[in-house]
Amino acid sequence: MKSLNFDYRRRPECSCLRPELSHLSSHWITNEQQPAFCSHYSSQRGPHQRIISISLFGPKEVKKFEIHRTLNYLKLLINDLDIMYSDGFILRIYHDNTINATDTICPIECEHSNVDFCNMENKTFIPPKIWRFIPAGDPLVDIILSRDLDSALTKREREAVDTWLATNKSFHAMRDHPKHKLRMLGGMWGFRPSLNRRLSRFILDKIHNRDLIKRYTGRADQGFLASHIWPFAKSSLLVHDSFSCENNFGHPTEPFPTQRPSANETNCYVGCARPCCGHGKMPFAECPKQCRPPDHPEWIYC
């Protein structure tokens, strides 16, 4: 048993050991058939995982890719995770071979027990922006939040997520900018596989359908969501929308549960690309009156 414990804590490329998982059971150690939805270590975490999932990919897919900027985004995201999602959420990073295991993955995983890297070299037929959706089909995952590498994790977002988790709704979607005019944005939706394992498996099969998924390369991940997730999500879905509540794609929305800081304090919104959420001009005007909470019509920035 000790040798198995040692193996699951160390990547072949790493000289460091990852923290021992306190609730590890022999069932998860010895089950060689356990699907590799991320890594061996992530599987050893066992069931009921709560995942924040991102994709990280390099020059072939991103013309302006810069490794130093990407790693800085990752550092900032992990810091946000430690502040906003410190209650047991795990960050899964689905990545290609752009990043180096020895220089990047090893020190991060060994320092941060709440971060798992998931190498996608054996699933390159899946478009990179869709990699982050894979935990939706993982039987060990109870909650998945799909997010963007370059977006901040904020208190406003977390309180919206908590409002959703207090309901019995399986899906969550957020729209927090006048240009968020899509049913579901790739980095602003969530799903609770624990509430519908059959649908979870269905989503996994869709993602791994080679003939289907090859139609959604590049920035078409949101087209995949609109065509293959939205039709099922809308029967059990909470949408927070601060601007497009009347153009709601046939599904009712709710205001965000917290008021946005005043315009002269921050340029922050859910899903904003860094640098944001610091002092700066608000990138939009007041939110429509009909999108404000009924008991807070004075929230002109809602």
Q: What's the mean pLDDT in 202-208?
A: 97
Is 39 in contact with 118 (CB distance < 8 Å)?
yes
Which residue in 278, 284, 248, 283 sits closest to 266, CA to CA? Answer: 278
Q: To the nearest whole number, what is the mean pLDDT of the chain?
A: 88
Q: In the prediction, which pLDDT does 23 show? A: 63
Give pLDDT tens digits for 15-40: 888 888 876 555 544 444 444 699 98
Percent of the chain at pLDDT > 70 equals: 88
Is 243 in contact with 289 (CB distance < 8 Å)?
no
Q: In the prediction, which pLDDT does 273 show? A: 87
Q: In the prediction, which pLDDT does 301 show? A: 87
Is residue 223 helix, strand or coil? helix
Q: In the prediction, which pLDDT does 34 show? A: 44
Task: Show Cβ contacts of residue 290 under 8 Å, excluding neighbours closer than 6 positions.
Answer: 245, 246
Distance separating alpha carbons of residues 145 and 191, to the nearest angstrom: 7
Distance separating alpha carbons of residues 195 and 192, to the nearest angstrom: 6
Q: Does residue 2 have a pLDDT over 60?
A: no
Is 193 in contact with 136 (CB distance < 8 Å)?
yes
Q: What phi, psi does 192 have (nearest 5°)?
A: -110, 90
Which residue in 289, 71, 105 sits closest to 301, CA to CA? Answer: 289
Bridge partners of residue 91, in order along the sequence: 52, 115
Q: What's the mean pLDDT in 89-116?
A: 93
Percent of the chain at pLDDT > 90 equals: 64
More confident residue, 179 or 262: 179
Burial class (CB in 10 A: 0-12, 13-18, 19+), 148: buried
Q: Does residue 270 have a pLDDT over 60?
A: yes
Q: In the prediction, which pLDDT does 4 show? A: 46
Burial 186-204 (b: 16+ CB within 10 A, else e): bbbbbbbbbebeebbebbb
List helix spans (H) across the chain: 2-9, 26-30, 40-44, 67-84, 106-111, 128-131, 155-165, 197-207, 210-213, 221-224, 230-233
Q: In the prediction, which pLDDT does 29 show? A: 46
Fold of 45-240: Spore Coat Polysaccharide Biosynthesis Protein SpsA; Chain A (3.90.550)
Give pLDDT tens digits for 121-178: 999 999 999 999 999 999 999 999 999 999 999 999 999 999 999 999 999 999 999 8
- Cα-to-chain-centroid distance, residue 108: 18
Q: What's the mean pLDDT in 81-108?
A: 94
Give pLDDT tens digits for 216-261: 998 899 999 999 999 999 999 999 999 998 888 889 999 999 998 7
Could you list the beta-strand ranges (E) of 207-291.
Answer: 237-241
Quickly state the pLDDT bin for 8 (edges 50, 70, 90): confident
